[in-house]
Homo-oligomer: A and B are copies of this chain.
Amino acid sequence: MPAGRPRKVAPEEALEKAMKLFWRKGYDATSISDLVEETGMVKASLYKVFRDKKGLYEQALGHYNDNLSVPWINGLLQSKSSVKETIKRYLTDIANASLNAERPSGCFMVNTSVECASTAPDLGNLSSGYHDIRRQAFLKYFQDAIQKGKIEARYTPEELAEFFSDQTILLASLAKAGADRKRYDTYVKMAMEILD
């Protein structure tokens, strides 16, 4: 342990809580005071550790990608089920998460793209990069599936990756637009038709 007064809150914990707050409220509507209250970390330390509000947001978004988005997709990639079952699971998992009132609604990456694309282009671009990572994971999955003959190649892997990766954006936004379980079920059923 280094010299000096010990931290009240570990940076990792603070980042986790900041992520959830930004995810729920967005960039502009979340104030530094909100973040101090939520994380329990004192204001000066927030600036010391995370540089400034934008720095904290960037790290929160990276934390979301590393701890939620990427593991989620890796779960997909490693599934031993059929392609249809795997993709359907992915879509319904998003639906379930979106309808879970405990969680912040939507996807942090989508929220960022929509809110920040015009007003904070660097945050928008950062988010676009994470969208690309998700699409690349889908691409890898479909390339493998087609190569192994698990699905017939009616579309290229690139097309399938584009389509299903993009469904993440839609499903994440649906709850915010007022959709309930029934509307989610209808939508997922129809989107799955692309694999029939």
Chain A residues at the B interface, C-beta cutoff of 8 Å: 24-26, 28-29, 104-106, 110-111, 113-115, 117-119, 124-125, 127-128, 131-132, 155, 158-159, 162-163, 166-167, 169-170, 173-178, 183, 186-187, 189-191, 193-194
Contacts and interface: CB of A to CB of B under 8 A. Distances in A.
A163 B176 contact: no
The residue among A24, A25, A114, A190 with the most chain B CB atoms within 10 A of its own CB is A114
Could you say how many copies of this chain the assembly holds?
2
A96 B194 CA distance: 24
Given A25-B118, A128-B177, 9 more contacts: A110-B177, A113-B173, A117-B176, A117-B177, A159-B186, A162-B187, A163-B187, A163-B190, A193-B193
9 contacts: A26-B115, A29-B115, A117-B176, A124-B176, A132-B178, A155-B190, A159-B190, A162-B187, A163-B187
Contacts of A193: 193-194
A176 B159 CA distance: 19
Contacts of A106: 114, 117
A183 B191 CA distance: 17
Contacts of A169: 170, 173-174, 177
Contacts of A173: 110, 113-114, 169-170, 173
A125 B183 CA distance: 17
Given A125-B178, A177-B127, A194-B190, A119 B170 contact: no
